[in-house]
Chain A
């Protein structure tokens, strides 16, 4: 009788047993992966990556294409530079923001630019491997593994959420490959990154 039971119920039980790890494991597993990704991303030497950006804006007749570089100098200096007619150089150090456009250089407060502030915060926490800061600023959802990962990020700050709805970053190990931003008003941006190259970006700028 017992064996009968076992036989009839065996597959179901096995299915349950099979499910159990899935109920329990995703959290620690994901956590481990995120830690691993952040560890792979974190830099302790200056680094730079080139990007191409395509912006879709309902106000514009056609999409807006730009190319440029993002550079990081530990501990927390971030530089975003774009080429072309509307090119600009943005340097964020601590909370000081310096904008250079053509010949004009302006000092601006970072908190006047919530979008850029969120962007800078995000890149800093990624490139410093600071998981606490990342999760303090965003709700983080992780898909995939270290080989091919995707982070879905939603700002926690209410004011910021009105401007930036979601950011998705795709990458492989310590490389960021693509970043999609959904902004309010149906605006989107897609940035493609090329592999980081070590070197001192400030000397290049000079």
Chain B
């Protein structure tokens, strides 16, 4: 019969779960992109960047291998054809660069404003004469430089100038004998698929990748093989691998835990009840994070659940202590220790929650909420949920071998611990520089071969550097275009000097208005031009009226309004401009939401120093800001910054936790023992990782935070004042051992994972459990002398396990 308060607690708990579920169902949004987990590297560099992570983030790279060159080329063409209409595809490029008539018409229409070759000299008599001679040769040639039908409109060949720029802004690979892109060895046909902004989500990308696979299978080219690379392929594969591993791990861990608990308790109730505080904590944490941040990041959720594993200890303490006693009373007895353990752990994560690293803030808030909810559920809800029999008569005594410790043994152990800690400190201090690995790629779950393939295809396709780019920020599109136009000269100089092999920027597609006006001014008046044309026509045997379309076009171009990003027609021009020029609202530039952003893509960059030096030397034009961004260096610097901030916060947390412990226990000696035990566990774990030759990443740091939580839990419980009595000491020791055993088991399983992130977590926590447990055990205050005759022994500090203490 449940009491009124416990009934109220259960009602409150159920209502809370319902609200959390509602929040998640109505507002829940799971983010999976790294962009929302990390701070924006561009923003950190002072220049904002597209949220999608730099150039090429939405480019899927495909390679077809096997068969012979002709079959690969045919498959490349058919695959491109099949994918061309797909709504998720903004463009597909396989090396064939033909424009359709509409696109051609749009470019022809604007050619005199867009072509960099338009200067007054180009329309001088001499130049026109040369141009007409070339066009006359075209008419007799089997290989005309310009298609015959275009000659009347464009005898000076502006379209040829533009075509070079527009043909393939997305790739520059070798063209094989069958006219499609191949790798330098000619063994693979290459394609680039640009994913539409609307389909940038991981779900859409997964579906697109599957469609690409299906279309390729539909070609029924059994001897050919399709390879996928590029950020979308890597993102999708990472997710698949993480999902598969996590599913397998969860199953194995749940099974192992269930077996362990069944063996220890010989009763099914603890098995399912143990999951309730953890489950409630996860649900509450997810709901609170969703309410605060508007979405929940998948990475924060995954690591949050891992770190929240410490909440599994709380019900285990309850069950292990309960014995044949009423659970509610036991929960009340344990509550001070639970508050101490959960409260100090929550304090650590509260400090984490207050960082500028969005993912980490989510993780902190998630764990903070989860821990507090799990502790409260263990205290008030769990006892009420026990079936009546178990609630009244208690649970079977857990059966667990316990370490026995005599005072002498404990003293010797403490000595050993001291030596080990000093050695660990020596190891830590001897590492200079400390082996931090701040590259996020160190944690990439994708196998090395996939990364290598990506690099290979990227090189073969001549795609721009994904690490470096120049960003231009301006108040208007035209300001950005002016600044980009002014970069032509320094970039060409850099190309000539060999610092880069090529570049692309928005003004190469669409010049700024001033430049367009200059070009208009360079166009001769109709009468003047007609005179030149007439002469040339006579000299080369053209019909008198043959070039009227040319005269019309030039005259019209002189009067035209300059083209702006808004008035640019759909088609290849817009397609080429869009990735290079981002309007306000198309980027996530913190603090610069109203800015236009231009991206200058660099090819074959070999000397970043020279690029940045030359750009710095230039005064920004039109009030725009220009800067070279090294995405990897910025990311690494950000991770390092975060790490420093996290470590500072940890030091702060150590002080705060010490203060909290002292405040709550009002026992400086006990507080010191707890803090020492946690610190010793932490030091020994870190030193062991270093001795294993592991470079520490951000995720080792996350794992170490869990180790802190576990260490606190063990030390707090073993040091409870109530645990000084031999019976209670035995129960406490049993419960802590059970906790350590279960956590150690789960994370040892995780350490077997093939994914670096999971392996890092598993190994760190498994080691941490062992060291924290041993340290907490050795540093626990000696137990009072046993009043029972079964425990004969020298001295008052006797401590040993007994098989069957309850009658």
Give me the interface of A with B, judged by CB distance under 8 Å.
55, 57-62, 64, 66, 80, 82, 86, 88, 90, 94-97, 99, 101, 108-111, 113, 115-116, 119, 159, 162-163, 183-185, 187
Task: Name the A residues within 8 Å of B137 (CB-CB).
Answer: 86, 101
Find B543's partner among A59, A96, A111 (CB 8 Å cutoff). Answer: A59
Contact status B178-A95, CB under 8 Å: yes
The 6 closest A-B CB pairs, nearest first, are: A59-B546, A111-B179, A86-B140, A95-B177, A94-B177, A99-B143
Given A163-B149, A187-B148, CB of A113 within 8 Å of CB of B143:
yes
Find A80's partner among B139, B142, B149 (CB 8 Å cutoff). Answer: B142
Interface string of B90-124 (1 = CB under 8 A from A): 00000010100100000000000000000000000
User: Could you show 22 A-B contacts with beta carbons less than 8 Å apart?
Assistant: A55-B140, A57-B148, A59-B139, A59-B151, A59-B546, A60-B541, A62-B541, A80-B142, A82-B142, A86-B141, A88-B142, A90-B143, A99-B143, A109-B175, A110-B179, A113-B144, A116-B142, A159-B98, A162-B101, A163-B147, A184-B149, A185-B148
Contact status A66-B140, CB under 8 Å: yes
Distance in angstroms between the alpha carbons of A82 and B143 in the assembled complex: 12
Distance in angstroms between the alpha carbons of A25 and B541 in the assembled complex: 52
Contact status A108-B140, CB under 8 Å: no
Contact status A96-B140, CB under 8 Å: no
Distance in angstroms between the alpha carbons of A109 and B176 in the assembled complex: 10
Contact status A96-B177, CB under 8 Å: yes
Does B542 sit within 8 A of A, measured CB to CB?
A: yes
Contact status B140-A64, CB under 8 Å: yes
Task: Name the A residues within 8 Å of B149 (CB-CB).
Answer: 163, 184-185
Task: Name the A residues within 8 Å of B147 (CB-CB).
Answer: 163
Distance in angstroms between the alpha carbons of A159 and B362 in the assembled complex: 56
Task: Name the B residues within 8 Å of A82 (CB-CB).
Answer: 140, 142
Min CB–CB distance B59 → chain A (angstroms): 23
Distance in angstroms between the alpha carbons of A111 and B152 in the assembled complex: 23
Give me the interface of B with A, judged by CB distance under 8 Å.
96, 98, 101, 137, 139-144, 147-149, 151-152, 175, 177-179, 541-543, 546
Distance in angstroms between the alpha carbons of A88 and B140 in the assembled complex: 10
Distance in angstroms between the alpha carbons of A82 and B148 in the assembled complex: 19
Min CB–CB distance B145 → chain A (angstroms): 9
Q: Given contacts A61-B542, A88-B142, could you give 17 more A-B pairs where the C-beta distance is less than 8 Å?
A: A59-B542, A60-B139, A60-B541, A60-B543, A61-B543, A80-B142, A90-B142, A96-B177, A99-B143, A101-B141, A109-B175, A110-B179, A113-B142, A116-B142, A119-B142, A163-B149, A185-B148
Contact status A95-B148, CB under 8 Å: no
Contact status A183-B148, CB under 8 Å: yes
Specify the chain A residue showing the minimal Cβ separation from B137. A86
Contact status B139-A111, CB under 8 Å: no
Distance in angstroms between the alpha carbons of A99 and B179 in the assembled complex: 17
Min CB–CB distance A188 → chain B (angstroms): 12
Task: Name the A residues within 8 Å of B140 (CB-CB).
Answer: 55, 64, 66, 82, 86
Distance in angstroms between the alpha carbons of A95 and B177 in the assembled complex: 5
Min CB–CB distance A122 → chain B (angstroms): 13
Task: Name the A residues within 8 Å of B143 (CB-CB).
Answer: 88, 90, 97, 99, 108, 113, 116
Contact status B142-A55, CB under 8 Å: no
Distance in angstroms between the alpha carbons of A94 and B546 in the assembled complex: 36
Contact status B178-A57, CB under 8 Å: no
Distance in angstroms between the alpha carbons of A185 and B137 in the assembled complex: 18
Contact status B141-A88, CB under 8 Å: yes
Specify the chain A residue showing the minimal Cβ separation from B140. A86
Distance in angstroms between the alpha carbons of A184 and B175 in the assembled complex: 29
Find A57's partner among B98, B101, B139, B177 (CB 8 Å cutoff). Answer: B139
Min CB–CB distance B341 → chain A (angstroms): 72
Interface centre among B137, B141, B144 (most CB of A within 10 A): B141
Min CB–CB distance B153 → chain A (angstroms): 11
Distance in angstroms between the alpha carbons of A40 and B178 in the assembled complex: 29
Task: Name the A residues within 8 Å of B542 (CB-CB).
Answer: 59-61
Task: Name the B residues within 8 Å of A99 (CB-CB).
Answer: 143
Min CB–CB distance B776 → chain A (angstroms): 74
Task: Name the B residues within 8 Å of A86 (CB-CB).
Answer: 137, 140-141
Specify the chain A residue showing the minimal Cβ separation from B147. A163
Specify the chain B residue showing the minimal Cβ separation from A57. B139
Task: Name the B residues within 8 Å of A64 (CB-CB).
Answer: 139-140
Task: Name the B residues within 8 Å of A109 (CB-CB).
Answer: 175, 179
Task: Name the B residues within 8 Å of A55 (CB-CB).
Answer: 139-140
Min CB–CB distance B186 → chain A (angstroms): 12
Contact status B141-A111, CB under 8 Å: no
Task: Name the A residues within 8 Å of B98 (CB-CB).
Answer: 111, 159
Task: Name the A residues within 8 Å of B177 (CB-CB).
Answer: 94-96
Contact status A58-B179, CB under 8 Å: no
Min CB–CB distance A89 → chain B (angstroms): 10
Contact status B96-A111, CB under 8 Å: yes
Min CB–CB distance A109 → chain B (angstroms): 6
Contact status B142-A59, CB under 8 Å: no
Distance in angstroms between the alpha carbons of A159 and B100 in the assembled complex: 8
Specify the chain B residue showing the minimal Cβ separation from A87. B140
Distance in angstroms between the alpha carbons of A28 and B774 in the assembled complex: 94
Specify the chain B residue showing the minimal Cβ separation from A58. B543
Specify the chain B residue showing the minimal Cβ separation from A187. B148
Specify the chain A residue showing the minimal Cβ separation from B96. A111
Min CB–CB distance B525 → chain A (angstroms): 24
Task: Name the A residues within 8 Å of B144 (CB-CB).
Answer: 113
Min CB–CB distance B108 → chain A (angstroms): 15
Distance in angstroms between the alpha carbons of A144 and B491 in the assembled complex: 65
Specify the chain A residue showing the minimal Cβ separation from B143. A99
Min CB–CB distance B142 → chain A (angstroms): 5
Min CB–CB distance B160 → chain A (angstroms): 11
Task: Name the B residues within 8 Å of A183 (CB-CB).
Answer: 148
Min CB–CB distance B80 → chain A (angstroms): 14
Min CB–CB distance B638 → chain A (angstroms): 45
Distance in angstroms between the alpha carbons of A97 and B543 in the assembled complex: 31
Distance in angstroms between the alpha carbons of A144 and B542 in the assembled complex: 39
Distance in angstroms between the alpha carbons of A80 and B143 in the assembled complex: 10
Distance in angstroms between the alpha carbons of A61 and B547 in the assembled complex: 13
